[in-house]
Structures are given as C-alpha cells and as structure tokens.
Structure 1
Amino acid sequence: MSEPTWALTVPQPAAWAISEGYQDVYNRMTDTAYRGWIAICAGSGFDQTILYETARLTGWRTEQITAACTERQMVVAVARLVEVCKGGPCECGPWANKRFFHWRLADAAPLPEPLPAPRNFGFWQMSDELAEQVARQWRQIHRPAPEPEPAPPQAKTALALRDELLPLPGADQGYRHVLLLGTTGAGKTTVVRQLLGTDPRSERFPSTSTAKTTVADTELILTEQGPFRAAVTFAERKEIADHLRDNVWEAARAVFEGRPQEVVYTRLLDHVSQRYRFSYLLGRPPSAQPDDDELDDLDDYDDDLDEDTAEEAGAPQGVSDPATAAMLHGAVEALQHVVNTQVGKLQTEITADEERSVEEVLEDELENRIRRSPVCARIVEAMLDAIEERFESLTPGELHRDADGWPVSWSWDCPDRAEFIGVVNRFSSNRHEDFGSLLTPLVNGIRVAGPFRPLWAETHPRLVLIDGEGMGHVHDSASEVSTRLRKRLDEVDAIVLVDNAQQPMQAAPVSVMRTAAATGNADKLHFLFTHFDLVKGDNLRTVSERRRHVLDSAENVLNAVREDLGAAERVLRRRLDESCHFVGGIHKRLDPRRIDPAKHKAATRTIREFNALVEALTADAAEVEVGPSRPVYKREEVTRAVSEAARSFHRLWNGLLGLSFEPDIPKKHWATIKALTRRLSEGHEDEYRDLRPAASLRHHLEKEIYRTLQRPVRWTGSEPDAEERQAIIDSISNAVTRRLIGLADLLITQEPRADWLRAYEEHGKGSTYRRAQILAEDIYARAVPRPDQHAAYDNPFVHEVHAAFTEAAAELDFLLD
C-alpha cells in the first residue's frame, strides 16, 4: 500500500484519541474520494466540547487527557482512511455524529517522534520533505494489519436477560399483558395482591406501603399449574456506584449543614430519591436507628391495615452486622473530617456571584471537591464490597455474574409456594425486620410465574400483570409521562389506572389519560377506584350516589381535555362509562367462604367488581370496522405542528432555566438543574424528579400531532362516521407517535451526552448561567431548532418527523401530500 502523502488536521484531543486507537471516526462537513494511509496532524487548537466527549468514550478523566495532549501543529500519527459514510442512521459507532460525514479510520499508530507541520486546515497534501519524514517513521512502525478480533458480545439489556430466563407468554398462548398504573398510596400493588390471591399477612407479596415501594418493573405471569418460577435482574455496578456517590455527597452536605448524626447516616444509606435504600441491604448502625416518627415507610403500615398488622409494624428495624457498622462509622468520620477541612479552605476562596449567595457558591464547589475526593472513592468501593457480599447468602437458585463478577441476574424454579415466596421476597420486600439482608435496592426487574389465583376468582385468567413504579415516586412528576412508561403504553394490551376514590383525578393519572388518548391507546384504559368504602357524606346515601360523586371529579378533567385535544374527550368519557370499577377494603383477604352477602355487602360488592374487571381484561378487544376511506394531510400542516411543538418546548425550558420570564413556569433552582445534568451525563436515566427533557419534547410533539390528525384536508372517499373516523385517526396517531419516542431520546439524551457532562462540570462564579446556556443552545436548540416567524421551518428535526409520517402512511395507507 502506498505511503502517506496526505494529512488531516484535527484539533486536540481528537488527534490524541485517533493516534492512541480510541477514535475510529472523525466527523467532517465534507466528503473525499481518497482512500488509504494519511497523516494525522494535531492543529493549534484545543476543543473543550471534544474533550468531554473523549472523556466519556475513553474512560479517561478530562485532566488526564489534557495532560496527554501536549502536541500542537505537529504530525502525531498515521492512520488508514478506509471509508467515508454519508451520515444519518448508520452503524459507525459512538464517535459518529449523524449530521456530518464520517471519516472512518483504522490501524492508527502514533509516530515515535512527532513532526512540526505547517498551519494548514482540513485535508491537505504534504510537501515532499514532510511526506518523506512521515514515511520514514511510518516504515519503522508499520506492520501488516492483523486479522480483526471478533467483536465482544454486547451486554444484554435487563429485559433481554429476563426474556431469556423466563419468557413472557403472549397472544399466541392466549395471554393478555396488563399494565397497572397509579399514584403512590392509591393501592396499586394491593390490587396486584388481590389479583394474585397472596395473603397480606403470611406472604406479603408483592410489598406494599403508603410510601415508595415498587421501583423496579414487576411482571407476574398467572399460570394454571406449577412450578413457581422467577427471573430477577440487577442494576449494573456502575449505576449503583453513581447512586452511592450521590449518597456520599448528601451525607457530606448534612455534615456541612450541621444536621444530627442520624441524618448523616440516613443520607449515606438511603438515596434522596428514595428509590435506592441501601439500608435494606446494609442495615443501620445501632447509633443511627431512626425513631418511631419514620414508621410511615414500613411495609404494610398504612391507615387501611387491621390492628394486628399495625402493631407488628412497631418491631425494631434490622441492625447492621459489626463489620458493616464499623465501615459506616469510619465513612461518616472520614466525611466529617474532609468536609471541615474543605470548608475551611473554601471560605477563604469563595465570593458571591450575581445569582447565588456565598453559602450557595461554597456548597456548589464543596460538592465538586467531595465527589472527586479519594475519600468519596474509598467509601463507594467499601459500600460496593459490602453490598456484593450480601449475595453470598443467596443459596437457592442460580446466580449469574458478568465478567467482573458483579451479579446480573438470578433464576429459580420451586414447586412449593411458601418457600418460593419466602425467597423471592428478598428481592422485592421492604419489611423492616429483614433490613440488612434484602436485595431489593439492586433489582431493576423481577418476573414471576406460578399458579396464583385469588379465592374470589370465578375464572382462571391468562394474564401477565405488570406493576411498575408508581407515578408519584418522583415528586411533581405529573406533566408528562416518562419515556419508559410511554413505551409500555404501546406494548401492553390493557392499562388499569388505579385511583383513590377519596381524591380522584389528580394530576398524575390525568397525565396518563391525556397521553393514552393522544397516542391512540385510550381504548386500552380501565379505571379502578380504590378506598371506595371511605367515600362518605350526609348527601351520599346510596352506592350509586357515591359512584356519581367520584365520577363528577372527571368532568373538569374531561372539559380540559376537550379544549386541548378535541375528540380525545369523547374517547375517555366512553372508557369511563364502559370500564369503571369501585372497590374498598382490599387490604384484607377477600374470602367468599367467610363472607355473608347479607351482612358484608361492601366486601361482596368488591368481589363482584374485581371479577368484572378480570372479565373486561380478558375479553377480546372489540375492533371498530372501518371502510376504505382514508384521511389526507398536507406536509405543511405537519411542519406547522412540529414548529408549534418546538416553540412550546423551548418556552418551557427557557422558563425552567430562568432564561426568560414565563408566568406559568417557575424557574428551577440551580442545584436541581445541576442534578439533572449529572443524571443525563451518567447515562442511566433520562430524567431527574419532574424534569424530563426528552419526555417534554415528545409530549409537545404528541399533542400537536394529535391536533393535526383531527383536521385532515380531505378523505380519499366519503367521510366516515364519528366512531370509524376516530378509530382510523387513533391508529394513525399510534403509528406516528411510537416512531417519535426513539427520536426524542436520541436527540435530547443520547447524542448530546458530552454536552450534558460539560454542563454538569461547570462550576464557580457564573456557572448557573453558563450551564443554562449549554442546555438551551448546545443541546436543545441544536437538536430542535427554534422556529423563526420570518423563515420556513426546514431542518433535520422536522425532516425526521416527516419520515415518521411517511413510514406510518405506508403502513396504514393514508396520504401525505
């Protein structure tokens, strides 16, 4: 092969990443017909954006990369240009940006002695003298390329692992998948207990609480015969480490704030989101035992429980073993020392800025130092080791580990129900007596199959019950549904919305109703109102009056939906009329053999309502027959909808970031925005509390697209009646919007990962504004260009939405002019 005569100038640290073999794609605005060996020239500049992307993709720290990139305006390596990809959807890997041409490089090798180069930009031909100098060194290091090693197998997702260990039965086996949704405390998991027929005292499966209980996907397969089977998957070690780092900082902040020592221990053990309570695994040191005021989080302790169970909730919580207690004591002492030391230094360095007080700036800088400190690293490693040791006592079943020894999944078959539930509860329970041995916080999915059947059941339904995280598990998480939940709405056959009859139709369930309607999933909705026995009043004399009282709460909601989404209101009203059920007293086991219908009318009515719900869930969906006529839409109208969605999206985030004043959008605290950037830079989640950037974009798109679909310019034949028309439009809405979930995730979450990291690492004076600008300009505006009233809205984003419409049109035979 010919020696290199052409050179490509790239900024640092890209030159370093290419020469060291990390980066195999370089993004350029132009194409080239050249293929073969080229010299890699480090330019005179150093690109900070590339630095953060390089850190993410290589695993090196930014300061390490900066120290390694000493060469400027020098030829540092030789590589082979093997191909130029035109961009767009491709398989060029994580270094590729779909907006550019991908110059694919191979066999890169650094020169033993970097050579000075002229100040040329882009792709240029070297002088004969420089080309000879490069070739001389290249001959010394060049060897024929070895046979490529087979690519290591990609890590399987948690869902794929569960599917491998215990496949979900589908429609071919006569099963229907049912998603149960509800706000925290509405009784969603208690409903699951009733549908399984598990005993609330002796079995306690799944776990319930008025607080946060279900934080992992729980999939329950009702079979007609045994054995009982389970497949459990666990969060990756890196994800758990990231959450532990959060805990270390929160504990350090408690020290900084002068909080009592028990608060410091609580912050160290239990994540602030209350999703990851590592005290379940590690217990609590005796000196950190909480007082009776914290009983509201314990298993089965709520105002629905009978006296025996409530008294039982007063038992002491699990205490850490001596070795773990000593480790936690040492961690707290180390944190107290490092916080006091760093605060003393910072008080002499920190000044206030225009947006934050001295104390806030100090806290911001203290967080940066604590998270990067050796003390934090040692505490996290010690806690990870203690956590991993808990698996040693897991004797039944088969534990599967990754190459580094971290548990990834567990599976087990057992013929005995009591033994099975006793073991599986280690992965799902929140029972205080077992603190110190539970594995619940590590679980990201649990799938169980077995011959479960309640005593009241009239049939043996073939159902897969999916009990996910309650909608109230993230504070104020009502404006739009999460990406994970949105995907579930498309995947399941039925959605049971569990709501509290005492306080019905609050923001979170209403957001599910709106999303289901706008995405063509409204016909899957079934409503189950719990606590119906507690709906009382002097004006409510009969059961019918109590039902009407509960449903009256829906009127304001439906009126708002009509103003916002038009025809969606009729669909939701019909579902409330057709599949609405009311139950009470469901915290107790419902046994028809012990219920006298004449004396226990409420219990009898609840059993009747549960059987009606099961019948509705197992019934074949009644499909509306539609004729050949199909709607026709204008591309300009689709563009207008996308433009309006983009405008609403930017208005929302400009208000949240404090870049503009929006009366109905309160500005978020700087620490909340910083926490969001950390979450998205880590790559495990796409949200923080009620902040969901990708879901926000998707939500506004779905709403505007649904409005547009209601207004076709014409029909290919005669216009169908209202029911047929709605069925056609719902199917189109579903086909289009399900294609946009991945687009929003790609544009907002995945592609700009380096920018999220860059925003998070902003600190010091003025960092709040700089961080907001990175989000607004470098992430949001780059992904979703802002509409300009003086120019046509024509950009890659709107083209992607048009492509989704075109695919859906080909699938469903409607027209897009």
Structure 2
Amino acid sequence: MPYTASKSPTKDRPGFSISFRHPCRNDSKGKPGLKVRRGLGTAIAEEADALVAQMNKLLADESWWNASRYNDALLAFSPIVVDAFFDGLQASVPNPVALRDSVIPLPSRADGYARVLFVGTTGAGKTSLLRHLIGSNPDKDRFPSTSTAKTTVSDIEVIPDDGPYRAAVTFFSEHAIRANVEDCVVAACSAVWDSMGDEKVADRLLHHADQRFRLSYLLGAWKTASDDVADDDWDFGSGDEPSAAPVADDREAVPPADAAALQVKLAGYVDRVKTIATVMAAAIKAELLPEPSTAQPEDLQAALEIFQSELLDDEAFRDLVLDIMDDIQLRFDRLDVGTLTKRGKAARWPELWTYETADRDDFLRQVRWFSSNYAPAFGRLLTPLVDGIRVRGPLHPVFTNRRDKVVYLDGQGLGHTPDSSSSVTTHVTQRFADVDTILLVDNAEQPVQAAAQAVLRAVAASGNYGKLAIAFTHFDQVKGLNLPGFAAKRAHVLASVHNYLARLRDVLNGPIVTAIERTIDAQCFMLGGLDAASEKLPGGVRAQLEQLLEQFERSITPPPLPDAKPSYDPSGLGFAVQRAADSFQRAWKFRLGFASSAEVSKEHWTRVKALNRRIANELDVEYDSLRPVADFVGRITEEVSNFLDHPVRWSRIPKDDTEAQEAIAPIRQAVFRELHSLAVARLVDQHLTDWRRGNDHKGKGSADRRAVDIRGIYELAAPVPGTVNSEPALDFMKAVRHIVRVAIEDQGGEMKTL
C-alpha cells in the first residue's frame, strides 16, 4: 500500500503537525501501518508543506526504511522529519532492569547484601511493611504509596546505605502505553454502546479494566455527583482515634485553575468518545441488530466485537488516542529536576529518569511523581507510566538501631482470585532465583487464601522453600473469645498454614511438605498496626520486626549443600511430563469453555480476547489472572519435582529426609529457572502468527474460533505424550528432559538409563 503524510493544525497549541501511517511499525492489530503524529515546530503553512513533502519522499523510497539509515537520512531530510520517522525503529529495546543497573547496581550476596522479595495479595500490607523497614513516615513521606486498591503497579527496589539519595526510574515503552490507552478508549466507547451515562464513560476511559493503568493519574479525576456527598453521612462512629491526615504539599497539588482546565479537557475527551461511538454503534446495530429486543446473546456478542474491532480502524478513534498520547507526553515536560534519557537519537519517549541529592525531603518529593496515588496531584502524576523505581540512600528503619544490608524488592500485588488453581505471575516467580528471602505478606484476618496458597505451592515445588518467610499483617484484628492472648492468636493463624500444607500433599510428594512444616513456624512473623508511624508501634510488633530483620540477615548465608548426590533413571520423567501437560491442557479446556468444572470457571470472551491481544502485540504473556506461561511452568515444575523426589540411588545415603531435600533443592531451583524460558518460547515465540490470527477474528462465532485457535496453540506447545508420539510431543519431552538432565549434572548428580 502507498504511504503518504499530511499536515494538520496542532490541537491546543500553535503550529502544525504531521500525520502518516508508518510502513515499519505495527498497529494494535499487529499489521504494518501504525498511525504516527508529530509536531513540526512551525506555524507557517509553507514550511509545514515542505516538511510533509520531505516525509512523502522518504515514505516512497523503501531504501530508507531501516534504522541503520538514520545518519544518512539526516543529510537528506530535515531532522524533524527524520526523527518522526525513525523514532521506534531501534533494533532492540533495552531491559528496564539493566537500565536501572547501569545507574544504580543492585547489590547481591557478594556485596554483603541480602535480597528480599515481597510477595502478597493486593491490600495485604506489603508496602506498609516496607515503609517501616526503610523508615518512611506514612503521613510525611508517603513513599511508597499505599491504599486498599492496586497501588503498587511497578517494581520498587530500595537499597539502604549511608550515601546520598539516588534514584533511577524506568518507563514502559510508548507502544505499551498506547495499547493501554486504546484499551481505555475502546472500553469507554463500549459504555456508550451499552447506553451508559457520562460518569460511566469517563470511568471506563480513566481506569483500565485490569486496575493497574489509570489515566486519571495523568489526566485528572472526573468530578461526579457523588463527590458532593458529605463524608459525615458515612461516619460509622467506630470510636477509634482517627489517624492524622496526610500532609498536603502545595507544590504537589494541582492548583484549582489547572484542575478546572483538566476537567474541561476530560469533558472534551468524553464528548469525542460519545460522538465516535454513537455514530459507529448506530450503523452496526442497524445492520446487525435491526430488532435488538429479539436478538440472541451470540448476536449481541458478535455485534459488540465487530464494533470494538471497527473502532481500531476508525480515523477519529486513532486521532483521539494520539491526542491523549500527546497529552500524556506533556507530563514529562513538568519534570524540572533530574535527567531524562531517551532511547536513540530519534526518540521522543523517555526510558530513564535519574536524580541525586543529599536532601531527603526533596528526594522523596521528586520520587513521588513516579509512585504516588495522592488525589490532589491527579493530573500531574507519572505513576502509570513507570515500569520500575530503584532508590538508594539512608533509608533505614527508625524502630531499631540495626543497619542491616538488605535490598528490598516490592512489586505488584497478586490480586484476589477465588481460583485455587491460579498460578503466580511469572513477573514474580522469575525473580525467585535472584533473592535470598521470599517474604509472603498475608492478612492474618483471612490467612492463606487462594493467592497465598499459589505462592506456597510455587515456592515448595521450585525448591525455594528454604528462602520462605511469612509476615502476617493485621494481626491486631485477630479477635475472639477463644483467642485470649498472643500465643492463642498466633496458633490460630498458623493453623491455616498447616491446613493448607496438609492439602498440598495431594499435589506434591510428602518429603517436600514435611521439610516446610519442620521450619515454617520459626519463619512466620505476626505484625499489626502497620498503617501508623514506626514510633507508634507497640513493643510486640517492634520485636517481631527485629526478628524479621534477623531472618533477612541469616538468609545471606544458606546452609552448605550436602555431599550426597542423587542419580535418576530418565524413564520416569516421561510420565511426569505427561501428567503435567494433561493438567495444563485440562485447566485451559475449562477456561476456554471446551469442558466444565466446579473448580475452574469458563472465562468471559472479553478476557480471553484481552489475553490474546496482549500476546499478539508482544505486550505481555498474561492478562490479569489468565497466565498460560505461569500455568505451564507451574504444572511442569510440580511433576518434575515429584520425579526428583525419587532418585534410584545416591552417591551416599542421606542422613535423613532433611539432608535429602537440601541436596535436591538446587536441582529443583535450576529446573524452575530454565522452564520460564522454555514456556515463553513454546507458548508465545513459536506461535506469534497463530496468536495474531486469533486476534483478527471478529463477527458471529469469533469467540469460539479464537478459543479453538488458542487451544490449538496449547496442544502444539504442550502436547500430552502417549504411547505413540507426534514430532511436537517428542520435541517437548526432549526439551524438558534436557533441562532436567543439565540441572542434575550441574549439581553433581547423574541421569542415565540403568
């Protein structure tokens, strides 16, 4: 197709912009022709026309369509034209962790630091606990941010030391943010399709369905009628002393005039959403749903999916998305300290922000722009754009004089899923190998629910149970007539742990569970009142925090590995792979609707489509609780773990089960680590074309066709081995066998047919 550029007035600013379909960048459907718009930096029509002519010349000649031609293009065209075209054509995207490492290296055991990974459900209190461990006051510092919602949406890495305060913040790619904006606009248009009011349309626009991306932080909150309801009307009179209100900072809060302007801009976006959606919905409903009251559910679903698909091809829709992206881009311009680094000479989207100062208050105020959920600052915050934050400096606890060398790694909460078969996100599990302590933070009021169970299951099967510690928050809320004191309350909470471990024996062999049961009581800590400042914590909580720090310190020197080495017969491994593949396939048959189960529910077609779209566009390998890669890794890990529990012989007989488990644990860990790469390769990389085909389905029956395609991907990626095996099944078994063999031999064991 021919690619041409055109000029248009720049919205809300003087001058002209250039728009064109990029021949080398894919749109949201995975096809070449992403619409790009850039400011031309001139208000003179003749100059703008000349720049458009240059772009058309560049677009007409495919010899320029290569990132390596950037410097040559600068000799032939205006830098404005060259930068607009070559932005996003870099050969590779840097790893955000490597970017942060380049500025602030993450200390490890070799540097005398223990690494602690925080894992837990949303709202359990992970970040509140972290605040106490780094001496952050909840009212004054407000870092990291907390709330009952999904507050921590990026990785937060804290390195306490005695140097100056330093920060390195990395951002999601422009491609990823644009995809989220498109999702939000589609959701807002779908609200119009369903005849919802302005308030619902605005809510869909400002809050992504996965609750992690919030445009309200960037564009401002929508003022609703409920904002005028007096808080006194909802005062339940608990009698508890109210906590101090957060200290307002006029430098952070959006001034009233700016807030009013943001509301006007939002109202304009909502009006445009309504115009776009109303026109398109009327046309599609007239064609496909002439009598909506008599339409069948499958007809309504098909019409809605066609509506959503057509939106992505609509020029007005794309212009709205680009306008919102331009608005987001302006938020970076407000940063008046630190250094913003962009990727490549042509890039306009930053990838890294760095800052250093000796002033604690100023440091935290600047970092809060990237992590805050402070409502008065909505419209100026950059939080939804941030992939990771790493800070280093005198961030020590105030409840103790200890100055332990500990790196704290906090991240997204696991969410509240009722599905006990759900796996832990690979964004968490792939970090197991790099840390010394896996700290499960759980709510003592409702301990060891589905998400916490998934963590315990993954930690056990992967051989990382020696790194496990559990911090039970809200212990102050554990009450009952039969729980008179600390010991009774602690026993009540720990009973939930032991009850789940007993059930875990149905999945994993007894020796692993026994090894966990032997040490778990000493690695559980009871905490409460964490929403208060450290100075206000009661003595019992401070004592538990001290013990937790001692646990971190001990984790840096794990026990020496036994010299007993196991030997295995590989013939049993085939059965392990068979059981794992069958378990994986069965769960996804339920989710995709090919079979029914009381334990695993069928997923709504919109969630399956969202997963398909994320994978097809290479944005992620999961969506919310839909985690095929994590499921793949989890099921194989569990079955291989059971296989590893049965060596055919030992180089010497272990003294007891504990020593045997300590010898096998490093093998389990190595297998678990390598399975992540295998899962991504087999489920995603080798089937991107198939995922993109599934993403293209629309119309009546499209959800069923998409489900068939996804099931086909899974059957090729993780085929169930049988008596007679296909080539994909043989390749699958060989790949798993290779990973297991290498892991065994690297630890001094052996695997060979006897």
TM-score bracket for the superposition, by shorter chain length: 0.7 to 0.9
1:375 is matched by which residue type in structure 2?
A
Q: Aligned partners of 2:506, 2:298: CA distance in 1, in Å?
A: 44
Residues 1:463 and 2:401 aligned together: no
Q: What pairs with 1:670-685 in structure 2 (closer than 5 Å)?
A: 670-685=605-620
**Residue in structure 2 matched with residue 705 of structure 1 by the alignment:** 640
Task: Determine if contact 1:458/1:611 at 8 Å carries over to the other structure.
Answer: no
| CA distance in structure 1 between the aligned counterparts of 2:222 and 2:25, rounded to whole angstroms | 39
Q: Aligned pair in 2 of structure 1 residues 782, 292: CA closer, same or farther (>3 Å)?
A: farther
Q: 1:677 to 1:153 in 2, by over 3 A?
A: closer
Partner amino acid, structure 1, of 2:717: A
Query: Is residue 222–residue 452 contact of structure 1 (8 Å, CA) maintained in 2?
Result: yes
Shift of 1:771: 0.9
Per-residue deviation, residues 114-155 of structure 1 (Å, max 9, x unmatched): xxxxxxxxxxxxxxxxxxxxxxxxxxxxxxxxxxxxx96633
Counterpart in 1 of 2:227?
291
CA separation in 1, counterparts of 2:698 and 2:338?
48
Give 3-state SS (helix, strand or coil) of 1:685's partner.
coil
TM-aligned CA distance change 1:381 to 1:626, over 3 Å: closer
Aligned to 1:162: 100
Give 1:339's match in structure 2, choosing from 255, 273, 277: 277
Percent identity, aligned pairs only? 35
- Is 1:430 aligned to 2:369, yes or no? no
State the alpha-carbon separation in 2 of the partners of residues 520 and 608 from structure 1: 30
1:726 aligns with 2:664: no
Q: Return the letter of the residue paired with 1:164.
A: S
* Structure-1-length-normalised TM-score: 0.76
Q: Count matched residues.
A: 664
Residue 549, structure 1, aligned to residue 492, structure 2:
yes
Of 182, 185, 195, which aligns to 1:248?
185
Structure 2 stretches of 5 or more lacking a match? 3-21, 34-61, 64-88, 232-237
Contact 2:189 2:274 in 1 (8 A): yes
- Greater relative contact order, per chain length (Cα 8 Å cut-off, separation 6+): 2
With over 3 angstroms needed to count, the CA separation of the structure-2 counterparts of 1:401 and 1:576, relative to structure 1, is same
Aligned to 1:737, what secondary structure does the other structure show? helix
| Partners of 1:229 and 1:411 within 8 A in 2 | yes
Task: From the superposition, tell whether residues 693 and 62 of structure 1 become closer, same or farther in structure 2 (CA, over 3 Å).
Answer: closer
Question: C-alpha offsets along residues 254-295 of structure 1, whole Å, 9 cap, x if unaligned?
Answer: 111122211211211221211111111111355x57637899
Question: How far off is 1:719 after superposition?
Answer: 4.5
Matched, 1:261 2:198: yes
Q: 1:306 maps to what in 2?
A: 242
- The answer to whether 1:571 aligns with 2:571 is no
Distance 1:609 1:210, change over 3 A: same
Task: Quickly say closer, same or farther: Cα 1:161–1:476, change in 2 above 3 A.
Answer: farther
Q: Cα distance 1:65–1:174, how it changes in 2: closer, same or farther (>3 A)?
A: closer
For residues 717 and 792 of structure 1, what CA distance do their matches in structure 2 show?
39
Residue 487 (structure 2) pairs with residue 505 (structure 1)? no
- CA 1:654 to 1:237, structure 2 compared with 1: closer, same or farther past 3 Å? same
Distance 1:536 1:284, change over 3 A: closer
**Aligned residue type for 1:207:** S
In the TM superposition, 1:475-494 aligns within 5 A as 479-494=422-437
- Asked if the contact 1:327–1:382 (Cα under 8 Å) also holds between the matched residues in 2, the reply is no
Aligned counterpart, 2:534 = 590
Unaligned segments of structure 1, at least 5 residues: 1-12, 17-54, 67-107, 110-150, 296-301, 596-601
Distance 1:305 1:210 in 2: 20
Asked whether the 8 Å contact 2:25–2:32 carries over to 1, the reply is: no
The change in CA–CA distance for 1:362 and 1:389 in structure 2 (over 3 A counts) is: same
Comparing 455-464 with 207-216, greater Cα deviation is found at 455-464
Give the match for residue 59 of structure 1: 26
The verdict on how the C-alpha distance between 1:792 and 1:394 changes in structure 2, with shifts beyond 3 A counting, is closer
Give the match for residue 143 of structure 1. Answer: none
Tell me how far 1:750 sits from its aligned partner: 2.2
Pair 1:714–1:56, CA change in 2 (3 A):
farther
CA contact (8 A) 1:231 1:409 kept: yes
Equivalent runs, 1:141-220 vs 2, <5 Å: 154-220=92-158
Shift of 1:806: 2.2
Are the counterparts in 2 of residues 324 and 386 from structure 1 also a CA contact under 8 Å? no
Residue in structure 2 matched with residue 755 of structure 1 by the alignment: 690
Q: 2:325 aligns with which of 369, 384, 389?
A: 384
Q: What whole-Å deviation, never above 9, does each CA across 1:318-352 have from its counterpart, x for those lacking one?
A: 87656654443333222222222222222233269
Match runs of 1:405-416 below 5 Å = 405-416=348-359
Per-residue CA distance 1:666-695 (angstroms, 9 max, x = gap):
222222211111111121111112111111
| Structure 1 residue 463, shift from structure 2 partner | 0.8
What does residue 599 of structure 2 align with?
A: 664
In the alignment, the residues of structure 2 paired with residue 622 and residue 174 of structure 1 have an alpha-carbon distance, to the nearest angstrom, of 10
What TM-score results when the alignment is normalised by the length of structure 2? Answer: 0.82
Deviates more, 1:233-242 or 1:331-340: 331-340
Distance 1:678 1:382 in 2: 23
Match of 2:208 among 255, 267, 271: 271
CA distance in structure 1 between the aligned counterparts of 2:495 and 2:239, rounded to whole angstroms: 25
In structure 1, what is the Cα distance between the partners aligned to 2:230 and 2:309? Answer: 31
Check 1:529–1:814 CA distance in 2 against 1; reply closer, same or farther (3 A cut): same
Report the 3-state secondary structure (helix = DSSP H, G, I; strand = E; otherwise coil) of the residue aligned with 1:725: helix
Paired residue for 1:604?
A: 539
Would the aligned equivalents of 1:354 and 1:766 in 2 still touch at CA under 8 Å? no
Which whole-Å CA distance do the structure 2 matches of 1:396 and 1:62 have between them? 38
| Structure 1 CA distance for aligned equivalents of residues 335 and 210 of structure 2 | 27
1:638-653 pair list within 5 angstroms: 638-653=573-588
Q: Which residue of 1 aligns with 2:6?
A: none
Asked if 1:694 corresponds to 2:621, the answer is: no
Q: Is the 8 A contact 2:253 2:377 kept in 1?
A: no
Residues 588/322 of structure 1: CA separation in 2 closer, same or farther (3 Å cut): closer
**Aligned partner (choices 712, 720, 724) of residue 786 of structure 1:** 720
Partners of 2:557 and 2:664 in 1: CA distance: 17
CA distance in 2, matches of 1:791, 1:626: 39
2:548 corresponds in structure 1 to 613
